[in-house]
Structure 1
């Protein structure tokens, strides 16, 4: 892959993604790019940054439907090493038997459903959602010699996909509505600094009652039980 060829490929991909007007079109376009890279099917998994212990997950996929059901039934989300490694955006992950050693029957069962080799890479959206793009082949071949090409291209395709879904206001990208007022954001920032309600009221020249009112309102919005969680969640989704 020469630099000239890559930039031509990149420009063409960006143009195609910009013209998408509906989520189903994204699925077809990603499948087309998957096949152009020599693979058979893909999964684009979007993982929300919060809640920390049970993050929201959405999947756009052309994997065999029975395999998707089996993956969900066995809760392989909890042990899949690809999901863990792809928390670092831009890092390509080649699928190997050794990689899945600690993942129970995941590798074995994936092979039974025709997923014999693959490669994954991720990108991050402005709201800190991670989009993990995985492409798989029915043929058991190594991707090591193509690592740089696959890493660069899948990272860009994942980035473009996140942009499209965000532009289309797709549910998979809705971590939390970003409609906080300027006052609420100020209170969030000082809460994250560890300031008490009294201290925040003095800093912002407002009543303690007003501070508590906004904090309680934000607790409901975040669906959390205390001020510490508000600040943690706000930081996790890039609000502060």
Structure 2
């Protein structure tokens, strides 16, 4: 796996090979998490789904997440073809409607530990009949391979990231809050030309091509919160 874009493409191709629509890699939520998007590392899910999911803070009520408090075994769900009596009553109706609207009818989540002592999800969603056991076994092996390659890529990135200066960090943080160069300049008492210079240097250090990618990568690498 050579890059983040390659990782996303691999997730998409693995999902499609099993008749699924989307693949994702994300951090396992903690009890204090109220938003999904900050936990998503790589995904083919529509961003509109994530925004609506977070607007309702559905992560606090998701039965899949709750089940991982008891076990890290793979979890599946099925909202249409075959109900799980143990889980059906736990889906908030609005959350169920949202997932159905985006075609996330069935899904499976695999959990993997990383050397950094964190737990990660590899998740696949789609609209097809439930996975047969032989498909689950094969998908589990592929998910493990994808995560291992992703984790090596992630750790390699961390080793080669140049440290941002204090001023560059300020500029990136304000950019993450939606401020323009002119507005950041007013806040920091600097010219917008100087702000753009800091932004350009930060993008070079993090190997990004635009501000959106810079903010996303800075959040992903925990450079900013």
| 1:102-157 CA distance string (max 9 Å, x none) | 13122232011111112111211111222211111233x11143332223332332
Runs of 4+ more than 6 Å apart = none
Q: 1:127 aligns with which of 113, 116, 120?
A: 116
* Alpha-carbon separation, structure 1, partners of 2:62 and 2:5: 26
How far did 1:100 drift? 4.8
Residue 34 of structure 1: aligned partner: 15
Q: How does the TM-score come out when normalised to structure 2?
A: 0.57
2:144: which partner in 1? 155
Shift of 1:171: 5.0
Is 1:67 the equivalent of 2:49?
A: yes
Does residue 103 of the first structure (1) align with residue 91 of the second (2)?
A: yes
* Distance in 2 of aligned mates of 1:100 and 1:166: 38
Question: Tell me, what secondary structure is at the counterpart of 1:94?
Answer: strand
Relative distance call for 1:124 and 1:37 in structure 2 (3 A) is same
TM-score (norm 1): 0.54
Q: Bigger shift: 166-175 or 119-128?
A: 166-175
Unpaired segments of 5 or more residues in structure 1?
1-16, 177-240
2:127 to 127, 133, 138: 138
- How far the C-alpha of 1:48 sits from its partner, in A, is 7.0
Match of 2:105 in 1: 116
Q: Larger C-alpha radius of gyration, 1 or 2? A: 1
Which whole-Å CA distance do the structure 2 matches of 1:83 and 1:38 have between them? 24
* Pick aligned residue for 1:77 from 59, 62, 69: 59
Gap change, CA 1:83 and 1:59, over 3 Å in 2 = farther
- For 1:166 and 1:173, how far apart are their aligned partners in 2? 12
Runs of 5+ consecutive residues of structure 2 not aligned to the other structure:
159-216
The 3-state SS of whatever aligns with 2:116 is: coil
Counterpart CA distance in 1 for 2:222 and 2:29 is 6
Aligned partners of 2:132, 2:117: CA distance in 1, in Å?
29
Root-mean-square deviation (CA, aligned residues, Å) is: 2.8
Q: Give the corresponding residue for 1:92.
A: 74
After superposing the two structures, state which structure 1 stretch, 123-132 or 38-47, moved more: 38-47
Cα distance change on mapping 1:34 and 1:40 into 2, 3 Å: same
